[in-house]
Structure 1
Amino acid sequence: MSSPVPSSPTSENLPDGAIPAATLVIMRPSDDGGPDEILMVKRSTNMAFAAGAVVFPGGRVDPDDYLVARQHAPDLAEADGAARVAALRETLEETGLAVGWPGLADRDVPDVRRALLAGTLLSDMLAARGDRIALDSLVPFARWCPNFKEARTFDTRFYAVNAPPHSHELTVEEAEHSHIFWATATNTLAMADSGEVSVIFPTRRNLEKLAQAPDFARFSDHARQFPIDLVTPWIEDREGQAFLCIPGHLGYPVTSESFERVRRG
């Protein structure tokens, strides 16, 4: 069988032209006292990547994100800092939730969001307002670069954060998403298993990882126990059946899935 993905998970397999990206897992206490809920968005069916899939907010890193990171968190490594900025910016653009921006009042969020979507640079907006953003509020816990050759290839850094207080309704940015909702990791996985929603392979594995801890504080503790090594899934043949696999030392409870069942992108 020819393999459409790399045969080993080493960093040397990082594809040329991979697009730096970031995604944000936003966690809040549930009303019933159960596990924390996570903010999920459903991608529009006309998107080139993960069309119709339920994902965490996020997107590609823009050049301006590097400038903002240098200005607001110069001690962070360049790629990490820019990814954190992208995660916060993309989340605000996609959902209307301002994470890590303590100086931004609820009443100002709609105007700031519209300006970002219209192309105003975040660095210019922060300078004009005299605001600072808090990149240290994000907890890094994963980095994935699947090379499925389905569409674009993304080098995505994953972060978790406590949901900030807000009084306004969250809404999707309709050009890219069709739906927004809060659900526990376990419930989102159950919806995927029943066919109610669709999740791609990286999202499923990270939901399983998140489901191991009941809240943000304990997930943060759990995440710090494991290294953040680049995850590039590979195919293994097991008794004539192909499995898509990830490394076993990164804290994921499930590290392989039948290739025939996998949604890759």
Structure 2
Amino acid sequence: MTDLLPTPDPALPEGAIPAATLVIMRPAADCGPDEILMVKRATNMAFAAGAVVFPGGRVDPDDYLVARRHGFADAAEGAARVAALRETLEETGLAVGWPGLGEGELAEVRQALLAGTLLSAILESRGERIALDSLVPFARWCPNFKEARTFDTRFYAVMAPPHGHELTVEEAEHSHIFWSSARETLAMADRGDVSVIFPTRRNLERLAGQHDFSSFAAHAGQFPVELVTPWIEDRDGQSHLCIPGHLGYPVTSEPFDRVRRG
């Protein structure tokens, strides 16, 4: 499997772990801004314990094999898309980009993945492919906070697929799952009802500027996807954590003493 892995990017911090996350959007019942699927991390997790995040996780070696079989020339990009879909199914029970997976089969496939069965083997046995092109890439973050693990995370957005079953968290990693608009989640964070880490807050602010998936996809297409590695900068005698100003984010700095980093 090692021959499928890409050459490490010299621009990344040493030891950065490839990861992917998925912003899943659905129309709100009241015709308000689209709702986004959020999960709350378990309090015993080493990274972002107790924080509200988008579904996702680290890229596994098998994700590169699935991407190659789907014809992705960019191994890292393809594997991240596979990881985003796989992790979402494992964590929430929502099968994004997998139209052939019926409601009656979903729980069995999810449990097989959680038990260690490779996605490549499941797809091969079923003679199916997943829709990697359905994802809209819009960001890539690699915060280099020394007190936390370093993840090189690619962000994607997608419309929620139709489903009739209740979504449930994978309890080893998460404690809660809910749908909420970006604005509502930010308001909850401001009230202290939930905790969000710096990258999640900046991306929620960006999402809050658009009404629905279509408008956000159009917005995302106007900006390049470049690696975001926040830096500390002194502004009027106060340390701020900063990000670039040309990538579509409405807020590009926050006082360092207010930031939750991981």
TM-score, with length taken from structure 1: 0.94
| Structure 1 counterpart of 2:36 | 38
* Residue of 242, 246, 250 corresponding to 1:245: 242
Offset at residue 76 of structure 1 (A): 4.2
Q: Is the aligned partner of 1:20 residue 2:18? A: yes
- After TM superposition, list the pairs within 5 Å mapping 1:65-76 onto structure 2: 65-72=63-70, 74-76=71-73
* Residue of 158, 161, 167 corresponding to 1:161: 158
Provide Cα deviations, 1:195-234, integer angstroms capped at 9, x if missing partner.
Answer: 0000000000000011111010110000000000100000
Distance 1:174 1:52 in 2: 13
* Residue of 110, 113, 117 corresponding to 1:113: 110
Offset at residue 238 of structure 1 (A): 1.1
Offset at residue 14 of structure 1 (A): 2.1
* Partner secondary structure for residue 96 of structure 2: coil
| Structure 2 counterpart of 1:56 | 54
* Partner secondary structure for residue 116 of structure 1: helix
Provide Cα deviations, 1:94-123, integer angstroms capped at 9, x if missing partner.
Answer: 000000001000111100000000000000
| Structure 1 counterpart of 2:228 | 231
Runs of 4+ in 1 over 3 A off after TM superposition: none
Q: Is the aligned partner of 1:197 residue 2:221? A: no
Say if 1:58 and 1:86, in contact at 8 Å, map to a contact too.
yes
- After TM superposition, list the pairs within 5 Å mapping 1:124-143 onto structure 2: 124-143=121-140
Distance 2:97 2:77 in 1: 15
Offset at residue 75 of structure 1 (A): 3.6
* Partner secondary structure for residue 140 of structure 2: strand
Say if 1:29 and 1:36, in contact at 8 Å, map to a contact too.
yes
- Between the two proteins, the alignment pairs up a number of residues equal to 254
Task: Give aligned-pair identity as a percent.
Answer: 80
Gaps of 5+ in 1: 1-10
Say if 1:70 and 1:81, in contact at 8 Å, map to a contact too.
yes
| Structure 2 counterpart of 1:178 | 175
TM-score, with length taken from structure 2: 0.96
Distance 2:257 2:10 in 1: 26
Distance 1:15 1:101 in 2: 34
The alpha-carbon distance between structure 1 residues 12 and 259, as it changes in their structure 2 partners (threshold 3 A), is: farther
Distance 1:80 1:134 in 2: 14
- After TM superposition, list the pairs within 5 Å mapping 1:249-260 onto structure 2: 249-260=246-257
By relative contact order (CA 8 Å, sep 6+), the higher-ranking structure is 1
Offset at residue 151 of structure 1 (A): 2.2
Offset at residue 12 of structure 1 (A): 6.2
RMSD over aligned Cα atoms: 0.9
Offset at residue 13 of structure 1 (A): 5.4
| Structure 2 counterpart of 1:96 | 93
Distance 2:24 2:236 in 1: 40
Distance 1:188 1:122 in 2: 32
Gaps of 5+ in 2: 1-8
Distance 1:187 1:226 in 2: 25
Say if 1:13 and 1:232, in contact at 8 Å, map to a contact too.
no
Distance 2:54 2:89 in 1: 13
| Structure 1 counterpart of 2:258 | 261
* Partner secondary structure for residue 176 of structure 2: strand
Offset at residue 153 of structure 1 (A): 0.4
Distance 1:264 1:76 in 2: 33
Distance 1:81 1:208 in 2: 27
